[in-house]
Structure 1
């Protein structure tokens, strides 16, 4: 009973604190676009944050989640820019995959300045995994198999060719001593959930994703995590997963998760959403979601997040040139 009372008090406190920050805008019919099919990281971001926004009484009604897959996030980006540019009730799930595609010019005619960057809700470290029945048990084993016969291993991910899931594989492969990125076979799917389904069906041999979208499949016994691309082992229940570093492969890949909003959104609405995401991020409820799903702290909001995005795009463009994706 005391725990329930404490949780209720925390929710009430968050709502009161947010009410003090909120300005003259209040959303009417809140919508969150997940730019991929159900089951992946963007879908997770919309659904978990949407639930928290409603539970914390930051928005007046349940958040509608719309899955708008295509082009590694490009279909949703183009739709928001062209058709929903002034929608004050709309936020869109984004991540390092989004800035990767923008940096590589994969969204035709698009750039980061066409939308408004709202804030982050944490960082999600990359993983490389295989199916539970795979004879491969370590990351070095996997890349030794690639070196012996590059055609024998196909990696699946929820981002397009050259996207973040693809880049993580290339970063790890390069660290494992594979110099020619063109030898790595990568198959792109519309979201991590679809990529895992193809892995479990035996159509590919390895999976590149993030810990949050992988956890459910690990819990069900379907996936075997070979390595987490973090500096050191993650805390809590994730501590059982080895890092690439401790296996002799110096590969680190953290995927931020957050939101952008339409570029023509009013300043009042934008300030509302910046405060809304910040309040959610700082709540006890969200800290529990982070702990349950392997999200690590990363707090960037409003102008600070906008500057963070600009650096991300510039850094990713440089990396993409280094490994031959951009000329």
Structure 2
């Protein structure tokens, strides 16, 4: 009887100790947010968004840049170099999940890291220089159809990645053979915008939020179309959707952060509790509006389920476009 009582007390003490560790864990006061690309573009925007959101919680966010392999270098660094560090997070987007799901990160998969939260949703956009001659998406696509090898389209990722898929799908809808399309792949949206300003590509398949943010900061760019079901609010309200211009293609882009595979569960839960509170606050919604983004508060199992569906969508679209 005494043995059973001792065992009961011992087990209960373990449960309470685990509960206490979870209950009292808190996010670190200084965080490294890795943007797996060059400055500018969507990954940088995600880290800046996280920095602004956590400033009110006295958490300092240091932005770091780790281009390479369109996110593969940062993904592997998180697994091999900082797998248990709760103070390091990496920005991801829909394109990251596409690359991961289509084997562009080698044999890595969704279960190799811990996904913390979706911070916002963006939408694909077609961006040209401010002085470009095309007044709308039909004008641009007509020029591409007439000279597909001269009219270079650019985007972040790789041939066969998300931005290429968007360009190829748009080309098909416009009666253009995707195999004749000239697509230039960049490490991220920031690199494409630099090439666009310099005149090396005719248009970038970037996203609305980071593109309009760059325009706000003075870059000589113009958005021809957004890939959303309806017009976006705020400064983007005057920009017609691709649907309105005869190309029925919607392309929402999730933006979020993940952390290492060995970060203790107590720290992961503490991160998720904090981000749940932040993402639902009125101040955060104002912050999203200033970055031309929309809310998409997802953490925990709901986020993991969304990423699984996204992964399946990537493989389905790859098959439709004839990719291996």
TM-score scaled by structure 2? 0.89
**Other structure's SS at 2:104 match:** coil
| Cα RMSD, aligned residues only | 1.6
Q: Say if 2:99 is the partner of 1:101.
A: yes
Listed as ranges, the matches of 1:149-160 within 5 Å are 149-160=147-158
Give the counterpart of 2:292 among 291, 294, 316: 294
Kept in 2, the 8 Å contact 1:22–1:275? The answer is no
**Unaligned ranges ≥5, structure 1:** 1-20
Listed as ranges, the matches of 1:106-125 within 5 Å are 106-125=104-123
Report what 1:187 is aligned to. Answer: 184
CA distance in 1, matches of 2:197, 2:303: 37
Give the counterpart of 1:266 among 250, 264, 268: 264
Deviations 1:15-59 (A, max 9, x none): xxxxxx9642342542111111111111111122122212233xx
Instruction: Give the direction of change, closer, same or farther, for the CA distance of 1:313–1:129 in structure 2 (3 Å limit).
Output: same
Kept in 1, the 8 Å contact 2:285–2:295? The answer is no
Report what 1:79 is aligned to. Answer: 77
Q: Say if 2:226 is the partner of 1:228.
A: yes
CA distance in 1, matches of 2:94, 2:228: 15
Report what 1:249 is aligned to. Answer: 247
Kept in 1, the 8 Å contact 2:26–2:271? The answer is no
CA distance in 2, matches of 1:293, 1:304: 24
Report what 1:13 is aligned to. Answer: none
Q: Say if 2:173 is the partner of 1:175.
A: yes
CA distance in 2, matches of 1:168, 1:126: 8
CA distance in 1, matches of 2:23, 2:204: 42
**Unaligned ranges ≥5, structure 2:** 1-21
**Other structure's SS at 2:194 match:** helix
**Other structure's SS at 2:53 match:** helix
CA distance in 2, matches of 1:290, 1:56: 17
CA distance in 2, matches of 1:38, 1:22: 37
Deviations 1:217-255 (A, max 9, x none): 333261121100000111122111011101111011110
Report what 2:199 is aligned to. Answer: 202
Deviations 1:110-142 (A, max 9, x none): 111101111111110110011112111111111
CA distance in 1, matches of 2:320, 2:142: 23
CA distance in 2, matches of 1:161, 1:289: 33
**Other structure's SS at 1:150 match:** coil
Q: Say if 2:223 is the partner of 1:218.
A: no
Kept in 2, the 8 Å contact 1:49–1:280? The answer is no
Instruction: Give the direction of change, closer, same or farther, for the CA distance of 1:215–1:22 in structure 2 (3 Å limit).
Output: farther
TM-score scaled by structure 1? 0.88
CA distance in 2, matches of 1:156, 1:227: 15
Kept in 1, the 8 Å contact 2:280–2:297? The answer is no
Higher mean C-alpha displacement, 165-174 vs 66-75: 165-174
